[in-house]
Structures are given as C-alpha cells and as structure tokens.
Structure 1
C-alpha cells in the first residue's frame, strides 16, 4: 500500500500528457519557412520535447535563432493551443493521483506561459508547473519538490529521473521507442498513461 504523503508524481508535457505534435510542427515550419528554410514533418517530429533553441539551431544560423524562437512562441500561443489534445489515460491518471491525496508536478522544456496555456486548454490542473528545463536540468525541481517518480516520453526524461534519484517511467506515446527509453534508464515503460492508473504503488518512493 502506498503512502499518499509520498506520492509526488512528475510529468513531462509534450507527447506525455498531451499530443502537441501538429501544433509544434506547424509552428516550426512557419517560422523556418519565413527564413527560407524548409523542414519536413519527418525531420521535426523526432525533435519534439527538446529545447526550442537547440531545435532551431539545427536549421538556422546562430544570429537568427533568438528571433525565430520569439516568433515561434508568439505563433504557438495563437495557432497551436487549440490543436493540442490529451493523450489516452492522462486525465484518469492525474485524477487518480489527486484522489489519493498525491501531488502532480509538470516539468517541461516548453516555456511556462505555454505550459500553463496548454494545461488550461486541456483541463489538467497540476499542483506545480515548471518550464524551460530539459534533460538532467529537470532533476532540480524533481528533487526540490520531493518527487517520487517522473513520467516522460523522451530519453532526457529518463536521465532527469535517474539524476534526481526517483522512479523513471517511460511512456511510448512520443518519438522515443520503448527500447530506447529502457536504455536511457527507465524502470518501467508503459504504452500509455492509462496503464498506470491502477499502479500508483509503483509511482511512490523507492
């Protein structure tokens, strides 16, 4: 039986709680096209979840990255929010954690304004939201808020959980396949978040 006082579950956002691929890819393509660069869905899809500046730097010279990021963020709030939908099991798992008096923490590479706008749109109400962090850097808020597990779709999420010393849970709804999640340090990999609703004991402190 789990200790509700030690049920503090962290979540990544994009492709973990929400399916945001159409909005992200569309915004990236518009920003790049405005600078004379074409990028296909296939090129952009694997980049979802990584820091925006790093992704733009793959296609643009250094002196264009900051302005492109500003344009992307403005466009995202206008164009992409309405296209974002919950992934299977997301609401059910968040509700189950709250029903068990646990804490829900969202830690994302996306900037906090966009994170909050997305969560409001899909009707998810976490207790804590942290943005602008990727990979190992996500470990800091996980430790600060005494997380017991971190759930994500990206190898960087597994690295963050391992760095923080919490359970690393991979979900196979993003661009990273289950084997790569395991190789990155996942303690458990599930097909979608619904698989965890009846397994809250596996999200508590180890």
Structure 2
C-alpha cells in the first residue's frame, strides 16, 4: 500500500511539474541523435597531447572529460601564450575531426523528429544545447527536420554544461524562467546542468547511462525515449 501511494504521489508530482513547463531544452548526442562519437578515443588523444606538451598529471584523466582536459591543459600553459594557443589549436583539431567524422553519418533516434514536432505543435518552445562544436551540429541539423527556437553549442557560450550558465543562456533566449523549463538529456552531465539551473530534469535512456546514473545525478523523472515523454504529455492532458 505504501509503495502504491508513493507511486501515485510521484505521478502527481510529475504531472504538476509538467503543467508548469512552457519549454524543453534538449541535449543533442545520445538524446536526439545517435552520432556514435568515440568519446573514449577523443579523451585518449587529448591525454596524449597533454603528455606531448608535458602538462599531464597522473590520474587527471580519471576525473575529467576530454573538453575539461583541454581546459586543464590551457590553464597549465597560461603563462606561455604562444604555447597555449598552439596547444588549444591542436586539441580542438582533434575534437572537431572526431566530431565531424561521426556527425556526417549521425542519424536521429526513431522517435526524435516525430516527438519534437508534436512538442512544437503543442506550443512548447524548444532549445538544444550541446558540448559539440557548431560545425558538427549544423551538419546534422541541415539533414533533418528538428523544430527549434535556439541552438547553443560550445562555440556559443563561455562555459559549457555541466556549468548551468550554458542552459540558463538558452532559457533566457527562449524568454522563459527556469521554473518554466525542462532539461532533457541522456547523461549525468545534463542532469547536473539542469540541477544547477533549477529546472525540471528529464533523464532519457537512449544513451549509455543507466537509470541509476541519471537519478543519482539529479533526474526528476526517467523516460525510455522521447516518445514516452510525449506520451506522458498526452496522458496528463497537458497542452499549452
């Protein structure tokens, strides 16, 4: 009886939260598209670059993602502007090559276009934020019909997610408040970003993360895919 009561309470809380939502901000890789970017290889190559520039610290790659490792390298070389510029150029060349190699063949998940179109038709504003570069994102968006009101890549912001400023900038462009926004993503980075921004957080199981990973990182609700998110909007009778 207690379990059922908790389940009903959870469903009611989700419905109440969704009724306040006027816009959704989506992660890109693993949420909208299956790009298959080789992030472990990217990280490995950046570690090799750190070693080449003699700024590698043992164990640092256990704590940081590839883009954060690049920032670590830049910080380590900040006293030598020329070296910093060369390191950053080499690092971004590695990242952009791996992104474009995969994004040129990236495809949406089966439910993506239909779900985004229905969300858009229901009157919600739609944003997309990504740690990927602008060139890679534009390449994918040029091939598929994703309704959206704003796209912010790493090239469009000073700090990338999980820093909440990435998401907050998108919310500002959409003309919304955090309380009116839901962040939808497949990775703990997305959950942490949403938590920091104070938005409703939807974890989606289309990436590599488990339900436990997403809940521990701050997800308010978990869905298997975007079709299930839209089904929830329908079943709750929510429409703006």
Aligned pair count reads 190
Secondary structure at the aligned position of 1:124 is classed as coil
**2:68 match:** 54
- 2:103 paired with 1:93: no
Q: Which runs of 5+ in 1 are unaligned?
A: 38-46
Do the aligned partners of 1:88 and 1:194 also contact (CA within 8 Å) in 2?
A: no
Structure showing greater radius of gyration is 2
- 2:166 paired with 1:151: no
CA distance in 1, matches of 2:70, 2:208: 18
CA distance in 2, matches of 1:159, 1:168: 9
- Normalising to structure 2: TM-score of the pair? 0.64
Q: Deviations for 1:88-123, whole angstroms, at most 9, x for unmatched residues?
A: 321121011111121110011112232222222233
- 2:194 paired with 1:161: yes
Out of 131, 134, 154, the residue aligned to residue 161 of structure 2 is 134
**1:43 match:** none
CA distance in 2, matches of 1:91, 1:103: 15
Do the aligned partners of 2:26 and 2:128 also contact (CA within 8 Å) in 1?
A: yes
**1:113 match:** 135
CA distance in 2, matches of 1:142, 1:200: 22
Return 164-173 or 68-77, whichever deviates more.
68-77
Q: Deviations for 1:152-178, whole angstroms, at most 9, x for unmatched residues?
A: 011111112122221100011112211
Q: Deviations for 1:45-79, whole angstroms, at most 9, x for unmatched residues?
A: xx9xx964336689xx97756403224314633x3
Q: Deviations for 1:164-204, whole angstroms, at most 9, x for unmatched residues?
A: 221100011112211110011101111111111122377x8
Q: Which runs of 5+ in 2 are unaligned?
A: 1-14, 52-60, 78-82, 155-159
- 2:29 paired with 1:14: yes
Do the aligned partners of 1:5 and 1:102 also contact (CA within 8 Å) in 2?
A: no
**1:42 match:** none
Return 121-130 or 182-191, whichever deviates more.
121-130
**2:104 match:** 82
- Normalising to structure 1: TM-score of the pair? 0.73
